[in-house]
Structure 1
Amino acid sequence: MNTMTNTPSTKNLVDTAAANGSFKTFGKAIERAGMNETLRGTGPFTVFAPTDAAFDKLPVGKLENLFKPENKEELVSLLNYHVVNGRKLVADIGKWDTAKTVNGQSAPIKMTDDKVSIDGALVTSADIGSSNGVIHGIDKVNIPTKL
């Protein structure tokens, strides 16, 4: 697992994710959902960002369907299920049983062999710092039970 703890960054969460190169689909989803301004705002937020490979694991057509204008509310809910208020490093999150997400639902947290997972998604790149929060790359797109 790559960790870049305490790396000061002047880029906000959206720009940090874009610069990383592994979160292109996540960036498009944020844009389609109209969440750019929020995640460029003051925050701080902790974002569990699915990698492009994680989005590739979705059932065929799921992402295209979520990107349709009439499904914007569902897309926002799904993305908010990947956001937690505050700047939380993996070391802190690993001590939790659940994380209260911005969409209102709690996501289960597990710590196994020093690896943290949230709702079954393994954190593959941790503590990517930004000016208004932190990003943790995950290997699965988590779907909230209520969209």
Structure 2
Amino acid sequence: MIYKLPKILIIFLFAGLISCQNNENKSDSETDILPAEEKKDELNSPDRPMPRSYMLARMREDDELTAFTEEFERSGLEEEFKGKEGIYTIFAPSNAAYDRIPARQMNPDNDSLRSNANLMRYYMVEGEMTVDYLRERIRASENDRYEFRTALGEKLWASLEGDKIVLTDVLGNKASIVTSNMDEYYGVYHIIDNVLQPGENGE
């Protein structure tokens, strides 16, 4: 004898089965969404350093740039970096460059906050300029000399001497790029072997 379930019981069981499936689908959906939300929260965390300040933090960790980061701090420009986004390229003289050609000797007004801030701006270029980018621009330019403007508005020229990329300032001083460090999110900084000068307009 075959036992038949009452219709009302069958309806109840069917409804329960559908409810379980909906819950499983909801759980799967939440599993897909939550990691993305957590990642978004992490990226927007107020404790996460902004790009510009992160760049300076990276440079402070470089033993070759203690003199440059001290000059940068003394210039007062660091306050402009806090809380602001933006990718920059920085050409930073090494400690040996400052030891060999003291900034005070090259710029008598270096004690003034304004002249020191302008000097630091001369080492900065808005946007990302990698070594490969500079090489391409040099080779594509007239006379193999790529001209660009810094954050100060003054010119720098990049050229190749053998395998080295050489920068020339408006006064004719030259500096070679020794090493480069790049972060895809925050920009790039190059260590150079000489102290450059922006000239009269940058004093």
Q: Normalising TM by the smaller chain, what interval?
A: 0.7 to 0.9
Matched, 1:121 2:175: yes
How many pairs align?
136
Q: How does 1:125-144 map to 2 (within 5 A)?
A: 125-129=179-183, 131-144=185-198
More helix by share: 2
Identity of aligned residues (%): 23
SS in 1 for 2:115: helix
Q: CA deviation at 1:115?
A: 1.2
SS in 1 for 2:129: coil
What residue identity is the alignment partner of 2:61?
A: A
| Residue pair 2:103, 2:195 contacting (<8 A) in 1 also | no
Structure 1: gaps (5+ residues): 1-9
More strand by share: 1
Q: CA deviation at 1:38?
A: 3.5
- Corresponding residue for residue 131 of structure 2: 90
Q: Distance in 2 between matches of 1:129 and 1:38?
A: 21
What residue identity is the alignment partner of 2:192?
A: I
Runs (4+) of structure 1 moved beyond 2 Å?
37-41, 59-68, 127-132
Q: Distance in 2 between matches of 1:53 and 1:89?
A: 23
What residue identity is the alignment partner of 1:18?
A: R
Q: CA deviation at 1:74?
A: 0.7
**Structure of higher RCO (CA pairs closer than 8 Å, 6+ residues apart):** 1
Q: How does 1:37-52 map to 2 (within 5 A)?
A: 37-39=79-81, 41-52=84-95
Task: Flag the structure with larger Rg.
Answer: 2
SS in 2 for 1:12: helix
TM-score, normalising length: structure 1: 0.81
Structure 2: gaps (5+ residues): 1-50, 139-145, 169-173
TM-score, normalising length: structure 2: 0.60
Q: CA deviation at 1:105?
A: 0.7
